[in-house]
Chains A and B, each alone.
Chain A
Amino acid sequence: MSWAKKVLRVNLTEGRISDEPLNMEWAADYIGQRGLGTRYLVEETDPKCEPLGPDNKLIFATGPLTGTPVSTGGRYSVITKSPLTGAVACSNSGGFIGAELKSAGWDMIIVEGKAKSPVMLRIVNDQAELVPADDLWGKSVWEADKLIHEKYQDPQIRIAAVGRSAEAGCLYSAIINDLHRAAGRSGVGAVMASKNLKAVAVRGSRGVGNIKDPARFMQAVAEHKKVLADNAVTGQGLPALGTQVLMNVINEIGALPTNNMREVQFADANKISGEAMKEPRESDGKPNLTTNAACFGCTIACGRISTIDRTHFTIENKPQYWGNSGGLEYEAAWAMGADTGVGDLDAVTYANFVCNEDGMDPISFGATVAAAMELFEMGAITTKETGGMELKFGSAEALAWCADQVATGEGFGKDLGLGSKRLCEKYGHPELSMTVKGQEFPAYDPRGIQGMGLTYATSNRGACHLRSYTVASEVLGIPEKTDPLVTDGKAGLVKAFQDATAAVDSMGICVFTTFAWTLENMAPQLDAACDGDWSVERLAEAGERIWNLERDYNMKAGLTGADDNLPPRLLKEAAKTGPAKGKVNGLDEMLPEYYSLRGWTKDGQLTAKVREKFALPA
């Protein structure tokens, strides 16, 4: 098995907690985590529901391999309807709480309704209770984490919580677990806060067992740990430099969006890169990076543990930021660095700490600040709105100030908390919002990496790199090299990545394994652990089923094929420098072929044939 086969249902309106068996018929089709959580959401909620209303549900879902030693087997996802996009939200996180939940005996938590006043969900193995949390409301994630550990005198409790940004309604607020891992995107934190649920605190000591074939499983685990260790990306690049290994690489190929995506190269990229994080600084001779760190069960260990220069203006009077905490990953360093034009490593690290402490998605936050800076530059936003702060591209002071404002929802932080789309609409320039379906772009310019344009346009949760990371193929040559500047063949590439990734995200393991693993490496591990026969073909089919289920939810929520689009800047304003100079994204050359490969109509709607093939719910 390897599923715990048990679901914890928490009705906050009634203050009622119950348990029920996991639907194993669905698990056979949707695996777990992303797929299975979405299946429950589809069954139990109206896709047209108000995301921040009591009818939306918030699902924490582990996968069958969560809590096992399959490398990276500590993942969980939060599935809900997104207040940022109006589409399905599915935000994946590592850290330790996913494995702890599984070890407590649960596959999934389904949170319903809304509590009358702030509460915390406390789980100790099969016991769960709702505890008043008025004392935690108004506190940052870091403060709440400390208070909970002190209250129960147990250092081994694992905690996921929302910060003050979520309480203030920030539409891209995240759920932070283990202090600096995030179910980051699409505003899942805002949904949690809307239910008056401040934190989930878990302690599990039952363990994960019931492996189908333990001897075969342990052998497969050891064999595939070695595959990761022997691979240049997962064995060397990621442990040494983290995802920040990409900063200089992506800048060189002219795909590093800069100044709200006006440019595709950033002059100061080397100052905020993974290499820069290892340079000793003048003040104390220490580098920004202290060490790399792993999530539960991960043998890659790409995580960054960093400090900020104590003499830096952002923290010289704030001792609470003098210690180590989760440092910059590539997407965060890009959004808060290159996209805002800020080449100050300490300022960007400070903004990252604030995003962790008060639960903001650093991608959406940075991209929204970048949009605000462009609006400021053209005079659509002035110092009148900001209370005097000059929001200039490249200003480290402005970046740090924006982070503080959004963290607490004060002043102009309210506007910034709306996200780029609503901010740009409010100030009269919707065309300046670099978003798809209302979600901000990540760190790859689709003029320099053509496949990523189709990836962003068709992602089921709005602009996102993790739904089909064709960068692997177009830039890194994994599994095989394709030309990043052409659109030919990209429709098939995107579909293949989307389907495989949906399966990966449903097992309980990290998508970063796919730099070295394919489904061929995962199937034997899953099959040795779990009931049923898990072949590569079955996983690929499950992935495609999950993709179609998410798409179906979005269509029922009111989205259409017209939402599979990119901002005019990326379709009309050519890249000005680098290898992609003169290029725009050729979305219109890829999208019809993509719809056709999916078996959808020319308008991007699911057909009866597809629904039947995957036995999708009506």
Chain B
Amino acid sequence: MQRSLYIDPGKCTGCLQCEMACSFENEGVFNPAKSRIKVFTFHDEGRFVPYTCTQCDEAWCMAACPVDAITMNRDTGAMEVSDATCVGCKVCTIACPFGTVNYNQDSGKVIKCDLCGGDPACAKACPTEAITYVDADATGLDKMRAWAAKTDNAAAAASA
């Protein structure tokens, strides 16, 4: 069974534990600037939104790469960058409609979320379950459950 990162911005507090976990897993330092997941703060609206690669099946980044450095991991479904093959041309960063592939000045390669090989550090570090790693076929389950709970609750209240 493949799993996907599922993000619920309503639960995010903007603490950046995910960014620290990601950069530590991938770079060995606690460094939000080098995180593959980013939390955006919309100050006037009072909202925090974590955002990262959604691992497209027909991935623009993979199609655009001229040296085939981006391949799909069949176990996790993640599009992974091979550092040995990547030439740092950045074409994938242009191709990605979501901006989730980025260049790393220090290594001369691109970086993107690879689901940590199937055990994403961001989801483990998140204190509020704003980021979870769930069945890829049922990322909507929590939302469905929440709406299901509201459905016909007028009748439930009347009979209570």
Which residues of A line the B interface, CB within 8 A?
A: 67-69, 71, 96, 99, 103, 156, 179, 204-209, 214, 218, 222, 225, 229, 239, 290-299, 301, 303, 305-307, 323-325
Contact = CB atoms under 8 A, between A and B. Distances in A.
A294 B33 contact: no
Contacts of B34: 205, 207
Contacts of B33: 103, 156, 204-205, 207
17 contacts: A96-B16, A99-B32, A103-B31, A103-B33, A205-B34, A207-B27, A209-B29, A209-B31, A225-B127, A291-B47, A293-B14, A298-B15, A301-B127, A303-B13, A305-B46, A323-B43, A324-B46
Contacts of B14: 293-294
Interface residues of B, number: 27
Contacts of A301: 13, 15, 127-128
Interface of B: 13-17, 20-21, 23-24, 27-34, 43-48, 124-125, 127-128
A208 B29 contact: yes
B13 A69 contact: no
B46 A207 contact: no
Contact of A209 (B21, B30, B48, B128): B30
Contacts of B30: 67-69, 103, 207-209
A306 B43 CA distance: 10
A299 B46 contact: no
Given A71-B127, A323-B43, 20 more contacts: A68-B30, A69-B17, A69-B21, A69-B30, A96-B16, A99-B32, A103-B30, A179-B43, A206-B31, A207-B29, A208-B30, A208-B31, A214-B24, A222-B124, A292-B13, A294-B15, A297-B15, A301-B127, A305-B46, A324-B45
Contacts of A71: 127
A305 B24 CA distance: 29
Given A69-B24, A292-B13, A229 B43 contact: no
Nearest to A207: B31
Given A207-B29, A293-B14, A69 B46 contact: no
Q: Which of B24, B34, B45 has the most CB of A within 10 A?
A: B24
A298 B127 CA distance: 9
Q: Which of A96, A179, A297, A324 has the most CB of B within 10 A?
A: A297
B44 A323 contact: yes
A445 to B, nearest CB: 32
Contacts of B28: 209, 214
B112 to A, nearest CB: 18
Nearest to B128: A301
A179 B44 CA distance: 11
Contact of A325 (B23, B43, B48, B128): B43
B15 A299 contact: yes
Contacts of B47: 291
Q: Which of B29, B30, B43, B47 has the most CB of A within 10 A?
A: B30
B28 to A, nearest CB: 6
B75 to A, nearest CB: 24
B106 to A, nearest CB: 9
Nearest to A103: B31
A441 B146 CA distance: 46
